[in-house]
Structure formats: structure tokens, C-alpha cells
């Protein structure tokens, strides 16, 4: 995705302060985007009837496989792509009717690192602020660098920064015009676990300070850890949008593993109604629906079978299970 300076070329002034804060930071209604390529018989529908509401002050996850339409959606919000139909409002501003205010309401952190190696972080932020038309007296360069843990590198050349610092600098660049909405497109792609944890901490801090964050990621653990609400998009359509905990609960599966003694050669008759798997001579695995709540009956039947429970473990569905189930289901429906 292009550098944030080009994302908002028309936004030369920060968005005026609103008299009242909108309930939703982003509102998308029946959004459509169709690409018509010369020489191709059928047009490509990148987005089809997409409707989303992103509440003010939340961390909102947008997930989907490659080619699902995530980048097209972000590019429409940023003003890089012209929509075919529908409406998009950013901080209450329609992107068609109040273009300048809408674009000034959003900062986009692209996945690709786009940094001039011969500039310092301080110089880069000052240049970025100038491109947005932020007057020198209103710039927060030092404050933003300090907030993102880059104050001690303000005058160092960016080519000397570590990968994690460069990622944080990209976030800093998107914040120079004080946007209430921050879009993070795959912010931790290609970084190690330690750097990912550091970036998570920065995202949480920005959100605590009131920034609404839209996060796209391929790391489902990241979405489950950070996001209040998650939407899953597949083949240009929103196939799920729920609070994270509620979304995970949609997959009503659970697993109970018991380590028992003495060792078994076969499943005891008392346990056969639960259809467990004898994974090892001393390990039974039960799979069941959470809503059936059979754990008490399983444990009672295990004791009735004359077995001693030495250890037990339960495992619930996670976001990865949900993602795979929903996207596979969408593919099956189209066949």
C-alpha cells in the first residue's frame, strides 16, 4: 500500500473539531466495488454489499484470506480507490460529500515499510505534517515520537533503526495530523515474537488514549488478543461480524482429555455412550458440544468404570477454528 502522504493528498488541513463525537468511528453501508478490465468478459466484483459499523474507541479486526477484499475496502476509505456503490462515513463525514474532512479523520499504516533512509524520524514526521498542512505551532512531533518509544532516536538516520522501530515510525507518520481513526494493515507482518508483543503494547496504549483502531492481520492470535470486535470478509462479502468472545462461542465444540489408571486396552462399556477416543492406553479424549454440558456425566461414568483420573485437560475452539469453518463454508456454498 502507498505511503500515507499520498493517501490523503487532498487533506491539507486537520479535520475540524466536532461539536459532538459520533457513536461510530466508521460506517459502511452496502459498499460495492467492481473492476472492469479491458479484454475480459466478466467484471471482477471485489466488494459486494459490505455493511459495517465500527464503534468509536474500539479495536476492530478485519480478517480474511488473500484476495478477500480487505485492501480494496481500506483503499476506498483512504481515497485511493473509487467505490462503485454504497456509502462510507469516517468520523461522521461522508467520503463523497465531505472528502477533505473524511480523509483528515483517518491515518493509514501500510504493511510495506516506506521510509527514506537519509531522513531522521524527526525530519520525516515534520515533512509528513507539512504535507497534511499542519501548522508548525500545532505539530506534535516530539510527543508522537515519545509516545511510540522513539524519542532517543529522533535525530538518528532511519537506516540505523531496527525493524521494530521502523514499524513504530510508520505508525508515527500516520498520526501527525491527529486522526481519530488509525488503520493498521498487517502491522506485525514479518516481525519476531518479541517485536510483535511490543507493537501490541503500543496499539493498546493508542487505543486507551481514545484512538479507534482498524486492524487487518493474518495472525489470528493477534486478532483474538487485541480486538473487541472482528469481521471476517471472504470473496468480497462480510460473512461474520461479532464481538470477539461471541464469535469464538459460535463454534460450539470442546475437547476433554483424561489421563486415567489403570491402563486400558479398550474403551470401558460405561464410557461408550460418549464415544471417546482411546488416544493412548491411559488417555481418553472426549469431544462434545459445550451446550450439552456432559462433563459431569463423563467424570461420573469414568469413576463408575473403576478408573482413577490422574489428570485432565479441556480445550475450546479458538478464532482459527472459526475462521477456517466460516471461510470453508463460504467456498462450499458457492460451488
Mean pLDDT of 100-109: 93
Domains of the chain: which residue ranges? 4-242, 252-316
Question: Per-residue pLDDT for 313 more than 80?
Answer: yes
Q: Cis (ω within 30 of 0) for the bond into 303?
A: no
Please write down the long-range contacts of 87-90, taking CB distance under 8 Å and 24 or more positions apart.
87/27, 87/28, 87/29, 87/30, 87/31, 88/26, 88/27, 88/28, 88/29, 88/31, 89/24, 89/26, 89/27, 89/28, 90/25, 90/26, 90/181
Task: Pick the more confident residue, 13 or 231.
Answer: 231
Structure confidence by residue, pLDDT tens digits, 292-309? 778 889 999 999 999 999
Q: Rounded distance, CA 304 to CA 328, Å?
A: 41
pLDDT tens digit string along 123-181? 999 999 999 999 999 999 999 999 888 999 999 999 999 888 898 899 999 999 999 99
Q: Out of 3.30.70.1150, 3.40.50.300, 3.30.365.10, 3.20.20.105, which CATH number does the structure's domain 252-316 have?
A: 3.30.70.1150
Predicted pLDDT of residue 82: 95
Residues of the chain above pLDDT 90, percent: 58
Tens of pLDDT, residue by residue over 181-227, are: 999 998 887 777 877 888 888 889 999 999 999 999 877 788 888 99
What pLDDT score was predicted for residue 246? 83
* Gap between the Cα atoms of 166 and 232, Å rounded: 29
Chain mean pLDDT for the chain: 86
| Structure confidence at residue 40 (pLDDT) | 67
Is it true that domain 4-242 has CATH number 2.30.30.40?
A: no
The answer to whether residue 6 scores a pLDDT higher than 70 is no
207: Cβ–Cβ under 8 A, 6 or more apart, which residues?
57, 58, 59, 213
CA distance 49 to 70: 14
Amino acid at each position: 500500500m502507498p505511503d500515507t502522504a499520498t493517501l490523503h493528498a487532498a487533506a491539507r488541513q486537520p479535520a475540524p473539531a466536532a461539536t459532538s463525537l459520533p457513536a461510530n468511528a466508521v460506517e459502511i453501508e452496502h459498499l460495492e466495488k467492481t473492476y472492469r478490465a479491458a479484454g475480459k468478459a466478466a467484471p471482477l466484483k471485489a466488494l459486494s454489499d459490505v455493511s459495517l459499523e465500527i464503534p468509536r474507541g474500539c479495536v476492530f479486526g478485519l480478517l480474511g484470506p488473500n484476495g478477500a477484499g480487505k485492501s480494496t475496502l481500506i483503499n476506498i476509505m483512504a481515497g485511493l480507490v473509487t467505490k462503485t456503490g454504497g456509502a462510507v462515513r469516517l468520523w461522521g463525514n461522508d467520503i463523497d460529500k465531505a472528502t477533505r474532512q473524511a480523509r483528515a479523520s483517518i491515518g493509514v499504516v501500510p504493511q510495506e515499510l516506506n521510509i527514506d533512509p537519509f531522513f531522521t524520524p524527526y525530519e520525516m514526521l515534520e515533512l509528513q505534517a507539512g504535507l497534511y498542512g499542519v501548522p508548525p505551532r500545532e505539530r506534535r512531533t516530539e510527543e508522537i515520537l515519545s509516545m511510540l518509544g522513539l524519542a532517543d532516536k529522533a535525530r538518528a538516520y532511519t537506516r540505523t533503526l531496527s525493524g521494530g522501530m521502523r514499524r513504530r515510525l510508520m505508525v508515527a507518520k500516520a498520526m501527525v495530523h491527529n486522526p481519530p481513526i488509525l488503520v493498521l494493515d498487517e502491522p506485525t507482518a514479518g516481525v519476531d515474537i518479541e517485536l510483535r508483543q511490543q507493537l501490541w503494547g503500543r496499539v493498546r496504549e493508542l487505543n486507551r488514549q481514545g484512538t479507534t483502531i482498524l486492524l487487518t492481520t493474518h495472525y489470528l492470535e493477534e486478532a483474538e488478543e487485541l480486538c473487541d470486535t472482528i469481521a471476517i470478509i471472504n470473496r468480497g462479502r462480510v460473512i461474520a461480524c461479532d464481538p470477539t468472545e461471541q464469535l469464538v462461542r459460535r463454534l460450539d465444540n470442546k475437547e476433554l482429555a483424561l489421563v486415567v489408571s489403570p491402563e486400558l486396552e479398550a474403551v470401558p462399556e460405561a464410557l461408550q455412550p460418549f464415544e471417546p477416543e482411546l488416544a493412548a492406553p491411559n488417555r481418553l479424549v472426549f469431544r462434545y458440544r459445550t451446550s450439552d454440558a456432559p462433563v459431569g456425566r463423563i467424570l461420573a461414568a469414568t469413576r463408575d468404570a473403576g478408573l482413577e483420573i490422574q489428570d485432565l485437560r479441556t480445550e475450546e475452539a479458538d478464532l482459527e477454528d472459526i475462521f477456517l469453518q466460516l471461510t470453508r463454508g463460504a467456498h462450499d456454498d458457492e460451488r
